[in-house]
Chain A
Amino acid sequence: MSELPKARIATASLAGCFGCHMAILDIDERLIELMKLVDVDRSPLTDKKRFTERCDIGIIEGGCCNEENVHVLQDFRRNCDVLIALGQCAIMGGLPAMRNAIMHSDAPLRECLDEAYITGRYIRNTTHNVPNDPALPLLLDEVYPCSQVVEIDYQIPGCAPSGDIIFDTLTKLLTGKFRGFEPEMIKFD
């Protein structure tokens, strides 16, 4: 394995909880083995905010709930040969996408923000305003799975995916041996 040239990977967390990135750490001591195969480029793990060069694999956690998510995802698509959606939020929107189904009024986004910041039962917001700093990215009308914004090559299911399935999938992809998941490994929770 070690004689292979090292692959470059990048990761990003969009509308997710960072749990999938934590799950990458669940690979535990096998991380050492993995690091023999890859260099990590742009990623919260390296704190690199920009791509330094083109990457072989991009790993995306979370779906798209705001314009910045879309921007980052498109940037990853441009800079990565293979894009992997990691975890249920990236795959199908996940928890953030609950707002898609809950809101069916004429102004769903307004309704969502009002409930989240003003009218919700447990809200203690003395300003009675929805935060609107110019630095805040604009929200999308609904939460989109990554595959609706860019082409996604592989999905690793789970909330969060187990360290095992992440390690197994990545090492197989890197060595050209990925032929799909063992059914016993697939989990949506």
Chain B
Amino acid sequence: MSGTKKETGFAFTIDGVEVTAYAGQTIMEAADEAGVYIPRLCDHQGLRHQGSCRVCTVKAGGRSVAACTQPAAPGQSVENETPHLNKMRRDLVEMLFHEGNHLCPICEASGNCELQAMAYRLDMTETTRFPYLEPCRALDASHPDIALDTNRCISCGRCIRASQDVDGKGVFGYVGRGIHRRVAVNGEDLADTDAEVTDHAISSEVCPVGCIIRKRVGFVTPIGEREFDKGLIGHEIEEKRK
């Protein structure tokens, strides 16, 4: 495949594995197709790329870039699973844990939570040096079918993009700046919006954490039998290569 003369396809490598990409593809898109998993939180299948969580940081041509937004380049060698990059990623995941209130033992999303699963994958088990910011944000349970606990929000913005681009609604958006920046709803509270429990933005796959809560279905699947109890995050992608 290397030095391919195919009109649209070209080759590059990730950790030495040769991967084919097509013009306009990002590093992550090409990697996903090839069965190479690059950790990510804000990026999600079917949604616009945002490049905000930075967990997908890889080294391409010697520069650190976000794999979800960086176009793949012919012949480039990309580093992904290196101790150095995984250390950076672990720092980022830990930052997100400490920015909000992430109490896994009491969270309904535990076991299905991508933030938690990423911490498992990246081995976030050493004594922390980061302070806990312990925000105090009100719960919005105004909607009959949906509740929002933004204490668990990691500002990935997946709900914003899903609502805008898939549902055509715009229920969510970012407000504020810096450490005060967060996801808010298009109205006084969630009941004041046109959000519905059937929205893609509300579905369990879009919110990676336990921030968007669908009422009356909690704990249907017991702890211990959930998605990431069955396998590490990213295993579906990695299995493509096996």
Contacts and interface: CB of A to CB of B under 8 A. Distances in A.
A184 B125 contact: no
Contact of B104 (A88, A147, A183): A88
Interface residues of A, number: 27
Categorize the interface residue count of chain B.
Answer: 20 to 34
Contacts of B82: none
Interface in B101-137: 101, 103-107, 110-111, 116, 119-121, 123, 125-128, 132, 134-136
A98 B123 CA distance: 24
B233 to A, nearest CB: 9
Given A155-B126, A189-B104, A183 B121 contact: yes
Interface in A101-138: 101-104
B203 interface: no
A171 interface: no
B17 interface: no
Contacts of A155: 125-127
Contact of B132 (A92, A103, A187): A92
Nearest to B126: A155
Nearest to B131: A148
A173 interface: no
A110 to B, nearest CB: 17
B123 A180 contact: yes
A88 B120 CA distance: 14
Interface string B221-233: 0010000010010
Given A101-B101, A184-B232, A188-B110, A92 B128 contact: yes
A100 interface: yes
B223 A186 contact: no
B105 A188 contact: yes
A186 B127 contact: no
Given A92-B132, A101-B134, A187 B105 contact: no
Contacts of B128: 92, 145, 147
Given A188-B116, A189-B110, A98 B103 contact: yes
A95 interface: yes
A1 to B, nearest CB: 25
A62 interface: no
B224 to A, nearest CB: 8
Given A184-B232, A189-B110, A94 B105 contact: yes
B204 interface: no
A101 B151 contact: yes
Given A102-B136, A188-B110, A189-B223, A88 B105 contact: yes
Contacts of A100: 132, 134
A51 interface: no
Nearest to A162: B224
A188 to B, nearest CB: 4
A146 to B, nearest CB: 9
Nearest to B101: A101
Nearest to B106: A95
A27 interface: no
B103 A95 contact: yes
A7 interface: no
Contact of B123 (A88, A92, A186): A186
A104 B136 contact: yes
Nearest to B115: A188
Contacts of B132: 92-93, 97, 100
Interface of B: 101, 103-107, 110-111, 116, 119-121, 123, 125-128, 132, 134-136, 151, 223, 229, 232
Interface of A: 85, 88, 92-95, 97-98, 100-104, 145, 147, 152, 155, 157, 159, 180-181, 183-184, 186-189
The 9 closest A-B pairs by CB, nearest first: A159-B105, A188-B104, A101-B134, A189-B110, A147-B127, A186-B120, A100-B134, A189-B104, A101-B101
